[in-house]
Amino acid sequence: MLRRLTLLALSASILISCSKDGEGGEDSLDGTYSLTSVIVNAIDVNGDGTASEDLFDELDCFANASMTSTFEIKGESYIRKGGTIWSPIFDSSQQQLISWDCGPLPTAGGTSPITILSDNSFRIFNEVYVKNGNKLTVENTNYGNHNVPWKRAVFTKQ
């Protein structure tokens, strides 16, 4: 009888802990994330005389709450909520990055599957996201390629 009660208590605690993770608990990947940092080669876009590696310090559009880039992870699905798209501006030869611009990203998102790689990482298309605490970081594996000059993006769980 005591053995059955112990097994019942153990089973209940496992169910409760799994339920919490599935509901977006602290250790769960599930949740809504907002873009909080975009790392590039240092550049002075805003003309304040100080070059920064973080586009959040250089472009006003990231400070606009209505353009906050967000997405949701739910199970094995990624749902884009909209936000900001940032674009490099090149010189006339299209070889030298001279500035950055940004604008609104359509909010109509749709759902894409994600590939869970481990308890703290997943892949969306070709980008691998790594969770550390309440932050997701994606390193640009194509950094240095002419069309994708950003190094890293950081998203913070809301």
Cα–Cα dist 147/107, whole Å: 23
Q: What is the rounded average pLDDT for all residues in the chain?
A: 75
pLDDT for position 106: 62
Range with the lowest mean pLDDT among 17-26, 31-40, 86-95?
17-26
Q: Residue 152 — pLDDT band, cuts 50, 70, 90?
A: very high
Q: Where is pLDDT greater, at 33 or 106?
A: 33
- Across the range 140-151, mean pLDDT stands at 74
| Stronger pLDDT, 39 or 18, i.e. the higher one | 39
Query: Using an 8 Å Cβ cutoff, are 85 and 103 in contact?
Result: yes
Instruction: Report the DSSP pairing between strands 150-157 and 31-43.
Output: antiparallel
Cβ atoms of 149 and 26 within 8 Å: the answer is no
Beta bridge partners of 116: 122
